[in-house]
């Protein structure tokens, strides 16, 4: 039987155990307050391509009005060259160590060889530390570099591609002659008059840029969601309900930053009330501004077979935007709000590759498919709209090319964006490690694309303002939506 431990030794052991617990908890708190572990692996940036095509990246940065990022391109190339030179030095050190270790086995006097090995180990550690430091700086700079843009991308002004459902005259004065009503003035007045929008109560409950939809207003939202989902499913998009809360690193990997280029707050960050201070998620969660983020993140560290591509998903979720603009005509009502329902399209395709089978869809083809689906959705509602190819200065960090569709909104006396479609090439997949298996030997980063199927509040604005009948005091319901209204043709006073 083991002898009992003396009391003094027991006290000492208890104290050491308690001390280990305290230091461990303290260490966790320090980690939590400083830098938390990421759920994502380190991005695999294509640094070689940047070094070989510096002018292309500088042009992309300047067109996007990011001169401070453009200035870092030559610096990245310089740091990369220095790191590569150090890697050669490290290889030489390792080769010397290996040769000395071979000599050590047969040597009678091992002390001089051991001394040399010790010095080489110290040299190798110094070189490793310098390489690690340089790689960290390179990643930090590379993370700020936006995607490239095509040569034919409009530079300073969007290009009108086409018009949808053109009215018989000037859009500001157009009449819906077939249905006997004229265009309305403002969706807020219409919504309040019909009892389907309540901004006053929402302002008291939640603050500026929130809203209640009541009665047929709520039915209209659900009708638009189902209408968009039906259109997407018919074109081969698989439905998904994603989370609206993600870790911030996933939003960052998709190109969403906490603040926009004007310094305005974009993202709602979440602090868990009453949560454990040492929780791995404390302070690192955020609300998504679009289902694009969790849809893209679903394929984190995933590989698709090229036979599966294009992989097409449609997700419906609540979306949250911290920025809602300064108060004024542009932000009146529900056009620009903090919380809304959105149906999002997302697709993964194979990057251009010589090993890919002939006829494999490219991201350029997929972008046109997204645009055609969006045109079908908006045209089906009979809304007068224009399709735009957006200028480089309007592109987000992840977008290579982008289309917007803007509907005419009489209350604003202007066009309002209702859909957007972007080709992000491999910007997101290199950060999320999403690949396509082209053949037995080739695993390449996927190209990702995203597009709006339905931005609900803005389409509600367009419907109310374009389909209001002043004489009847009612809103005409577009025919594709009537089955969700028990086949009624009008939204009238609730």
Taking the C-alpha atoms of residue 134 and residue 340, their distance in angstroms, rounded to an integer, is 43
Residue 364 vs residues 48, 274, 403, 423, 442: alpha-carbon distances, Å: 24, 48, 12, 7, 21
Query: Is 261 a known ligand-binding residue?
Result: no
Q: What is the distance, to the nearest Å, from the Cα of residue 449 to the centroid of all Cα atoms in its chain?
A: 10
The H-or-E segment that residue 7 falls in is: helix 7-34
Query: Is 419 a known ligand-binding residue?
Result: yes
Query: Is 375 a known ligand-binding residue?
Result: no
DSSP of 240-252: E---SEEEHHHHH
Query: Is 340 a known ligand-binding residue?
Result: yes
Whether the Cβ atoms of residue 39 and residue 248 lie closer than 8 Å to each other: no
Query: Is 323 a known ligand-binding residue?
Result: yes
Taking the C-alpha atoms of residue 319 and residue 226, their distance in angstroms, rounded to an integer, is 17
Residue 61 vs residues 78, 148, 389: alpha-carbon distances, Å: 18, 8, 19
Residue 108 vs residues 99, 103, 105, 120, 178: alpha-carbon distances, Å: 16, 10, 9, 21, 104
Residue 68 vs residues 74, 291, 395, 437, 450: alpha-carbon distances, Å: 12, 30, 17, 37, 28
Taking the C-alpha atoms of residue 339 and residue 316, their distance in angstroms, rounded to an integer, is 13
Sheet with 474-476, side-by-side order of all strands: 468-469, 474-476, 490-491
The H-or-E segment that residue 291 falls in is: none
Query: Is 157 a known ligand-binding residue?
Result: no
Query: Is 450 a known ligand-binding residue?
Result: yes
Whether the Cβ atoms of residue 418 and residue 399 lie closer than 8 Å to each other: no
Query: Is 344 a known ligand-binding residue?
Result: yes
Whether the Cβ atoms of residue 253 and residue 142 lie closer than 8 Å to each other: no
Query: Is 140 a known ligand-binding residue?
Result: no
Query: Is 337 a known ligand-binding residue?
Result: yes
| 435-437 vs 303-305, strand pairing mode | parallel
Query: Is 12 a known ligand-binding residue?
Result: no
Query: Is 308 a known ligand-binding residue?
Result: no
Q: Which residues are annotated as a binding site for ATP?
A: 321-323, 337-340, 417-420
Q: Which residues are annotated as a binding site?
A: 290, 321-323, 337-340, 344, 417-420, 450
Q: Which residues are annotated as a binding site for L-serine?
A: 290, 321, 344, 450
């Amino acid at each position: 039987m083991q002898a009992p431990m003396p009391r003094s030794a027991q006290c000492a052991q208890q104290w050491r155990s308690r001390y280990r617990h305290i230091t461990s908890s303290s260490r966790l708190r320090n980690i939590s307050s400083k830098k938390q572990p990421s759920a994502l692996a380190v991005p695999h940036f294509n640094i070689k391509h940047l070094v070989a095509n510096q002018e292309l990246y500088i042009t992309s940065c300047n067109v996007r009005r990011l001169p401070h990022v453009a200035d870092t391109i030559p610096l990245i190339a310089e740091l990369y060259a220095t790191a590569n030179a150090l890697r050669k030095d490290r290889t030489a050190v390792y080769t010397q160590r290996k040769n000395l270790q071979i000599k050590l086995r047969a040597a009678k006097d091992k002390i001089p060889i051991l001394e040399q090995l010790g010095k080489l180990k110290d040299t190798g550690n110094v070189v490793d530390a310098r390489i690690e430091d340089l790689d960290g700086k390179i990643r930090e700079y590379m993370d700020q570099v936006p995607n490239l843009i095509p040569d034919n991308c409009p530079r300073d002004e969007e290009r009108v591609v086409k018009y949808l459902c053109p009215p018989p005259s000037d859009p500001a004065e157009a009449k819906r002659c077939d249905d006997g009503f004229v265009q309305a003035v403002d969706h807020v007045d219409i919504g309040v008059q019909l009892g389907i929008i309540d901004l006053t109560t929402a302002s008291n409950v939640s603050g500026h840029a929130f809203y209640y939809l009541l009665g047929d207003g709520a039915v209209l939202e659900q009708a638009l969601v189902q209408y968009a989902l039906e259109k997407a499913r018919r074109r081969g998009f698989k439905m998904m309900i994603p989370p609206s809360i993600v870790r911030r690193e996933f939003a960052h990997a998709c190109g969403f930053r906490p603040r926009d280029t004007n310094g305005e707050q974009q993202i709602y960050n979440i602090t868990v009330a009453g949560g454990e201070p040492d929780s791995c998620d404390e302070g690192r969660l955020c609300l998504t501004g679009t289902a694009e983020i969790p849809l893209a993140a679903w394929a984190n560290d995933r590989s698709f077979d090229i036979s599966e591509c294009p992989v097409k998903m449609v997700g419906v979720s609540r979306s949250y935007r911290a920025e809602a603009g300064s108060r004024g005509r542009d932000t009146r009502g529900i056009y620009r709000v903090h919380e809304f329902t959105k149906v999002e399209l997302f697709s993964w395709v194979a990057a251009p590759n010589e090993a890919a089978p002939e006829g494999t869809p490219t991201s350029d083809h997929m972008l046109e498919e997204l645009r055609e689906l969006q045109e079908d959705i908006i045209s089906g509602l009979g809304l007068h709209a224009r399709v735009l190819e957006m200028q480089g200065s309007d592109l987000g960090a992840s977008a290579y090319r982008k289309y917007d569709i803007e509907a005419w909104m009489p209350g604003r006396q202007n066009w309002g964006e209702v859909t957007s479609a972007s080709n992000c090439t491999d910007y997101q997949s290199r950060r999320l490690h999403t690949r396509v298996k082209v053949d037995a030997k080739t695993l390449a980063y996927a190209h990702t694309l995203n597009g709006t199927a339905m931005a609900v509040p803005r389409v509600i604005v367009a419907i109310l303002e374009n389909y209001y009948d002043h004489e009847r005091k009612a809103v005409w319901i577009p025919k594709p939506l009537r089955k969700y209204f028990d086949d009624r043709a009008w939204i009238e006073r609730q």
